[in-house]
Chain A
């Protein structure tokens, strides 16, 4: 149970609520019973009733995973017994049904997996539409990892250009810097678009500028700093990238931010890590920065202390 606030109630109100709840339970159990009875009597020979009765159960309780399995078995049998035209219609109906479920229960593993399963059975899945559905859901909860995962699934199975997805992450990041899921998505797409080392380096330099916008606007937000770490990590991996010069520039910019935000731990930490990466900075300077971090963020004192061994 997540985020269910405990509310104080009167005895009278509790009684009334219980009466309503009992009614709800009775209805639910009767829906489950109809499905179970039918399942027993049909003896493995599925028909439209199998689909409609199980749909009713899932509409009330999408976590009832055995019922999703049951529907997969139904479709597997239909594949042997029905013409493709009819099958495709059934798949489309299923996509519609899942779409309703997914909007009511956007965090159910079972629903998302069922959608992936059905989408690959379609002769041609409307991936544009799928992308739109995700965007709609991400507008309600921009960190829903099922949804981001499904976007990557779409990329994998469709011809939608990667550039479009990159654009989407730009929009989401500009709406809200504090959305690491978008930054993550960006980090997973960029290497796929920029396969040429030189172009990739140029793009990463642009990305340093882009993320600077975020770190300077909200220096306390960890999302953009983690993306900054990804940029440093990535540019280092590219042979002959002259990354030291790029990091030196980053260091300069980060130090500027420290001047503006002397009590914010993030630019100090990143400045320190950049100095360790570049090398040849005076020990005392690095030690001072570690001590400052310990002062500003004492909860993580032992992590910072471990950095003494790295300088």
Chain B
């Protein structure tokens, strides 16, 4: 462990980009902790978080592309879905991450697209909802993941989009927010997924924007950080869930961006790099990504711009000619104007 010295940059006002890059590329080289072993099933998501964070810091070339793609393809199952790791079952969550990783490596052509599309399409239920895998759990997270994945693959037309919207709207609460299933309490993470799904399906008109915007902006606490539900404590991951939702509905200026920036910076680990959930906690790749993504969305530190819905660098989506009417930094937004 290094000791603090007086030459060190003040991490409460500066972004420790180099340290974060080091932190991420060393994640797989470190001594393997117990945590490493019990999170084996999350590796696909982990790679997406780390890789995207690097991409936002213009450092994606630090990763071994070929090796990672080989590993990624080894996680695909005969049914077309991807597991969280080799020898782990397929699930929508890991399938989306795999696709998002391939987009960033400009390698979607490595994929048997029809088999993945077929896998996802089969998970839509009659009421429009999606189950996460063949075992049947329903959640609006899975609606979003399915819709986002299909959009990246250019096959949204294969599902019943009206029904998908109908189900998401059944999960809407009076406060403008959304829950995991009909009747569930509004939650910022869930709101991100529902707003994102509606954005991709071009149905932002079904959102109660001012009501939702108010609920979301109330997530900012006096310490600058954001919580995920009323009267909960702040956590860096909401710098993504809340900020992206506000951005998609064009209400990002309803919170104090500078204060949130300072909160995220305080959560940086000035020794090892990486970002933690709260100041003084242990960093991890999940919060590192969400912290950096939040900073990118708010336009700080010359980071590569991230799209609030697809959670990928905007420039890559422009390359795929994906329409981003909500995204002022996108070519397509300019074209639509």
Q: Which residues of chain A have a CB within 8 Å of any CB of chain B?
A: 1-6, 8-9, 18, 21, 24-25, 28-29, 36, 60-61, 63-66, 68-69, 72, 109, 113, 117, 143, 145, 148-149, 152, 178-181, 184, 187-188, 221-223, 226, 229-230, 233-234, 298-300, 302-303, 306
Contact A300–B255 (Cβ < 8 Å): yes
A234 CA / B253 CA spacing, docked (Å) = 29
- Which positions 50-88 of chain B face chain A at CB distance < 8 Å? 83-84, 87-88
A188 CA / B171 CA spacing, docked (Å) = 12
A76 CA / B230 CA spacing, docked (Å) = 41
Q: Chain B 155-183, CB within 8 Å of chain A: the 1/0 string? A: 00000000000000000011100001101
Q: Which residues of B contact A226 (CB under 8 A)?
A: 175, 230
**Secondary structure dominating the interface of A:** helix
What are the nearest 5 A-B pairs in CB distance? A66-B89, A1-B284, A299-B256, A180-B230, A184-B185
Contact B281–A145 (Cβ < 8 Å): no
Known contacts A66-B41, A184-B185, A222-B230: A117-B253 contact under CB 8 Å: no
A226 CA / B215 CA spacing, docked (Å) = 9
Contact A145–B89 (Cβ < 8 Å): no
Select from chain B the residue with minimum beta-carbon distance to A66. Answer: B89
Q: Which residues of A contact B282 (CB under 8 A)?
A: 1, 4-6
Contact B217–A223 (Cβ < 8 Å): no
Q: Which residues of A contact B133 (CB under 8 A)?
A: 69
Q: Which residues of A contact B183 (CB under 8 A)?
A: 152, 188
Q: Which residues of A contact B254 (CB under 8 A)?
A: 300, 302-303, 306
Q: Which residues of A contact B33 (CB under 8 A)?
A: 21, 25
Known contacts A6-B280, A60-B38: A145-B231 contact under CB 8 Å: no
B276 within 8 A of A: yes
Instruction: Give the most central of B183, B217, B251: most A CB within 10 Å.
Output: B183
Q: How many residues does chain B have at the interface if contact means C-beta atoms less than 8 Å apart? A: 61
Contact B259–A299 (Cβ < 8 Å): yes
Q: Which residues of B contact A36 (CB under 8 A)?
A: 87
Chain B proximity of A188: nearest CB distance (Å): 5
Q: Which residues of B contact A64 (CB under 8 A)?
A: 38, 40-41
Chain B proximity of A7: nearest CB distance (Å): 9
Q: Given A1-B35, A303-B254, 14 more contacts at CB 8 Å?
A: A1-B276, A6-B281, A8-B1, A18-B31, A21-B33, A24-B34, A25-B34, A63-B41, A65-B84, A66-B89, A117-B135, A299-B259, A303-B213, A303-B214
B269 within 8 A of A: yes
Instruction: Give the most central of A1, A36, A148, A302: most B CB within 10 Å.
Output: A1
A72 CA / B89 CA spacing, docked (Å) = 13
Contact B281–A109 (Cβ < 8 Å): no
- Which positions 288-324 of chain B face chain A at CB distance < 8 Å? none
